[in-house]
A and B are shown apart, each in its own frame.
Chain A
Amino acid sequence: EVQLLESGGGLVQPGGSLRLSCAASGFTFSSYAMSWVRQAPGRGLEWVSAISSSGGSTYYADSVKGRFTISRDNSKNTLYVQVSSLRGEDTAVYYCAKDYGLGGYEPFDYWGQGTLVTVSS
């Protein structure tokens, strides 16, 4: 059974940083690209960042480029995102999501339960 378990969220002051983690199990983690998707309270889904299966390619939304860094450790089956220079508009539930297949045009077939990041003084 595929499981994705996020952790690392919490309350942080504006300008602060956090590292979010997503522990994966139940599939060959090193074969699949992964993404982070966030949802601000009462709002829709916003794709944040993606990383290729090897970690060699990364992609970011303009809203987080230069502030967020996605990475992965295939030996630990874990996805990360370092979130820095946080702003109030970064307050959201952050989900990790797995690509459905191995191609370049994949949907997200499994999602974690999410971890809440609250940016407030």
Chain B
Amino acid sequence: DIQMTQSPSSLSASVGDRVTITCRASQSISSYLNWYQQKPGKAPKFLIYAASSLQSGVPSRFSGSGSGTDFTLTISSLQPEDFATYYCQQSHSFPRTFGQGTKVEI
């Protein structure tokens, strides 16, 4: 199984900050890496697919990069509505696996 490791597990930031979250796969997954945002009590929201493609309707301050085993999610200027937990997920093979999540706090 492919293990997904995110870092950090949590971070504190302020509105307007640039935030970067890292996701590492235990083996190469090409660009089959996706990102989701989840707020408390809500279902996850789809943000980015294929490592760097922004889902329709997602603000352009979100961006993704990487390939192989190392990936990043960047929020260029953190907004109040961005405080949430972010998960990476590989869709290269079964079983699908998620990172443990990164909680972005004020």
Interface residues of A (CB under 8 A from B): 35, 37, 44-47, 50, 59-62, 95, 100, 105-114
Contact = CB atoms under 8 A, between A and B. Distances in A.
A35 B44 CA distance: 14
Contacts of B36: 45, 108
A47 B43 contact: no
Contacts of B71: none
A112 to B, nearest CB: 7
Interface stretch (B12-20, B73-81, B97-105): B97-105
Contact of B94 (A50, A100, A112): A50
B103 to A, nearest CB: 10
A107 B91 contact: yes
Name, among A106, A108, A110, A112, the residue most crowded by chain B CB atoms within 10 Å (CB to CB): A108
Interface of B: 1, 32, 34, 36, 38, 43-46, 49, 55, 87, 89, 91-92, 94-101
Contact of A105 (B32, B46, B55): B32
A110 B56 CA distance: 12
Contacts of B34: 107-108
A106 B98 contact: no
Given A62-B1, A114-B43, A46 B98 contact: yes
B97 to A, nearest CB: 6
Contacts of B55: 109
B32 A50 contact: no
Given A105-B91, A111-B44, A114-B43, A100 B49 contact: yes
Contacts of A59: 94-95
Given A62-B1, A105-B32, A109-B55, A47 B98 contact: yes
A113 B101 contact: no
A45 B46 contact: no
A113 to B, nearest CB: 6
B95 A44 contact: no
Contacts of B96: 35, 47, 50
